[in-house]
Amino acid sequence: MGRHVIKSGPLLGLFGTVLGMMAAFGRIGSGEKIKAEQIALDISIALICTAMGLMTAIPFTYLLANLSIRVRNLQDSLSSGMTRFLEHFKTVTAKYL
């Protein structure tokens, strides 16, 4: 579940970027006289969305990778311990059978 949330952050940022740029180009294509401030505002919103998507993607991707490594190490440790336990169990039961 967490993986999907982390991966959707940048996509939402990209979606906001596309909407902001569509608004800017929509103003330009309207044929009306447009002030540069209006276009700059739309582009600014688009870039803010991009930055927010990156702000979620970068740290959370790092955290997810770190967590995945820890889980993998725990699984390896558990597997190794279980193998040793079963080998010991096999040796002990062989003495009594």
pLDDT tens, residue by residue, 13-24: 888 889 889 988
What are the tokens at 30? 């309207």
- pLDDT category at 52 given cuts 50, 70, 90 is confident
Contacts of 56 (CB under 8 A, 6+ apart): 6, 9, 10, 13
d(CA 6, CA 77): 27
In 3D space, the residue among 58, 46, 40 whose CA is nearest the CA of residue 19 turns out to be 46
Q: Is the pTM of this model over 0.85?
A: no
What are the tokens at 91? 């040796």
